[in-house]
Structure formats: structure tokens, C-alpha cells
Amino acid sequence: MYHNPVLLTKSVDDLVTNPAGTYVDVTFGGGGHSGEILRRLTPEGRLYSFDQDLDALKNTIADQRFTLVNQNFRFLENSLLMYGVNQVDGVLADLGVSSHQFDAAERGFSTRSDAPLDMRMNVQQSIDAKKVINEYEEEQLADLFYYYGELREARKLAREIVHHRKLNPINTTGELKNLFSYIPQFKQNKFFAQVFQAIRIEVNQELEALKEMLVQAHRILKPGGRLVVISYHSLEDRLVKRFLKNGMFEGEPSRDIYGNFSKTFELLQSKAFVPDNDEIEQNSRARSAKMRVGTKL
């Protein structure tokens, strides 16, 4: 298993309402959530899990009720149709990068190692972090640092990268970090986490893929089916919160003359579920986790 799955018991408790039903884990990873879902299902139950990372295929589960789909979850609906599935009882997403991906230094996800600028969750795709850093226009870089990294100094960072790459290509995470060695040490961890997050989101088109998956998840869920999403930063959580609230990612829904709008989900609770202190002590990854659960109306 790649890591201790965050909110494992709570997420699966809220997901599995029909033990004989059909479920989807769109972020298989090390198989922790999928394994727990299978433990809750009867022999009639079915689980389809998705992961675009080839490394995840090594963790496949030998169970006739289980199917592992090597695809990005943005292709959720069409991939399930290939298996004759058009309705499911629940969809679970544990977003972000797995501990395994962070720990595999050569993947370039971690700020702790000097590694090739990669950050691809699907190593077969053409765009990687090296291409983003060395080929994007200055304005594109500034935008992704501002919107995806929430960095106020985004324009300055983009300008410095463009200036440096004219002299020498930036090939590794270490070379990228060295450009900003002037950042005070007490700020470096947060700063580089934001920089790397911004690049990773762009490389993998994470927010666009999330929006596509959420829309498709709503379509394939049966009435009464559950959507459970665990996110690790505010950009993801904001999209999930808005979608569960009114079926939209931006703007406001149309309201009737009484000021009401058609809801697509009933929230299990208005606030996000968060791990307790014991789980955070045992698993540092849980510190930033927020889980939201909606029941399709």
C-alpha cells in the first residue's frame, strides 16, 4: 500500500450504502480505499477503480468483484460504459498526489529531492514540468503561479524563470529551487510547496479533470447514491463545495420567484469532515484533508 489512506473508515462508511451495489474509486493509488470498499461489499457487489499512473497497476487486487481501469478519471463515464456500467451507487475520490509519488524522487513531485522536472501522473503524456518551465510564456507562468499556487509574487517568479532560462535551460527541481534561494529559510517549505503545486496542477490539468469527473459522477450516480471527495488544498475543495451545493463551479444558479434553486445533492453535513488529532499524528498527509459528502437527489 502506498500510504495510510486518509479518513479511511469514515469515507467508506459514508460511501457504501448498498453492500450489493456498484461503486467507483476514481483514485486507486495503493488500493487502500478500494480494499476497504471491497471488504464492505457482498459477493454481488462490484468495484471499478481508476488510476492513470502505471505504477498503481502493480497494486491490483485479486478479487472477481474488482476491475482496475488504467485511465484518468476525467474519462469516467465512457470508460465505465465499456464495461456495460451506466449507473453506480457511489463514487469516491481521494485527490492529490500519493505518498508513493512524492517518495519516488525521480518523478519530481517532491520539494525535498533534486530530480528531473517531470511531475506527470501519467508518464506517457507529452507535457511535463520541464516543458512548462522552459517553454511557457512569462504571462502563462505568472498566471499559473498566481491561480494554482496562490502566490502573490507570481509575476516576479515568472520574470526570474524566463530571465534565467535564456542563459541555461532549467532541467531539475534543484535548479528551479536555486533560482529562489533568497527566500528566507523559515518561509521556504510553504513557498516551494506552492510553486510545485502550481506546476503540478498545470502539468496534469488537475482542476479541469476534477470538474469533468464531478459532472460525470453526478450523471452516473443513482438517486440516493453518494459522492465522497477528499481534497488537500483550497482550490480543489472550493470546486467540490460549490458543485455539491448547486451543481456549478462558478456563478450562481437560476432561482425561482421564491428565491429557491434546484439542488443536485443533499450534503451529509454543511461543513467538511476533517481527520481527528490522532489520525493527523499518525499520518501527516491528513493535516490538510477535507472530506465532503453528497447524496444525489
pLDDT digits (tens), the chain, 297 positions? 456 799 999 999 999 999 999 999 999 999 999 999 999 999 999 999 999 988 888 999 999 999 999 999 999 999 999 999 999 999 999 997 765 555 565 677 888 889 999 999 999 999 999 999 999 999 999 999 999 999 999 999 999 999 999 999 999 999 999 999 999 999 999 999 999 999 999 999 999 999 999 999 999 999 999 999 999 999 999 999 999 999 999 988 888 888 888 899 999 999 999 999 999 999 988 999 999 999 999
Q: Are 28 and 59 in contact (CB under 8 A)?
A: yes
pTM of the entire predicted model: 0.93
User: What is the CA 295 to chain-centroid distance, rounded?
Assistant: 20
Does 73 carry a binding-site annotation? yes
> Closest Cα partner for 218 from 294, 271, 272?
294
Name the DSSP letter for residue 112.
S
- Alpha-carbon gap, residue 186 to 39, rounded angstroms: 44
Spatial CA neighbour of 144 closest among 97, 204, 101: 204
C-alpha cell at 89: 451507487
Q: Contact, 202 vs 132, CB < 8 A?
A: yes
**Residue count (the chain):** 297
Q: Annotated binding residue at 233?
A: no
| pLDDT at res. 36 | 98
**Cβ-contact 182, 157 below 8 angstroms:** no
Which H or E run contains 230? strand 221-231
128 among the known binding-site residues? Answer: no
According to the CATH classification, is domain 8-99+207-296 in 3.40.50.10330?
no
Please indicate if the annotation marks 225 as binding a ligand: no
User: Strand order in 22-25's β-sheet?
Assistant: 66-69, 46-50, 22-25, 88-94, 221-231, 290-296, 265-267
Give every CB contact of residue 295 below 8 A, 6+ residues apart in sequence: 224, 225, 226, 265, 266, 268
Does the annotation list 164 as a binding residue?
no
In the chain, which residues fall in CATH 3.40.50.150?
Answer: 8-99+207-296
Backbone φ, ψ for residue 223 (5° rounding):
-55, 130
Is 218 a known ligand-binding residue? no
What's the confidence (pLDDT) of residue 112? Answer: 80
Assign a CATH topology to domain 100-205. DNA polymerase; domain 1 (1.10.150)
Q: What's the CA gap between 11 and 285, in Å, rounded? A: 16
Residue 31 marked as a ligand binder: yes
Cα end-to-end span (Å), the chain: 35
Q: 47, 37 in Cβ contact below 8 A?
A: yes
165 vs 135: CA distance, rounded Å: 9
Q: Where in the chain is the domain with CATH 1.10.150.170?
A: 100-205
**CA 79 distance to own-chain centroid:** 19
pLDDT tens figures, 204-263: 999 999 999 999 999 999 999 999 999 999 999 999 999 999 999 998 888 888 888 889
Q: Regarding beta strands 290-296 and 221-231, do their DSSP bridges make them parallel or antiparallel, or are they unpaired?
A: antiparallel
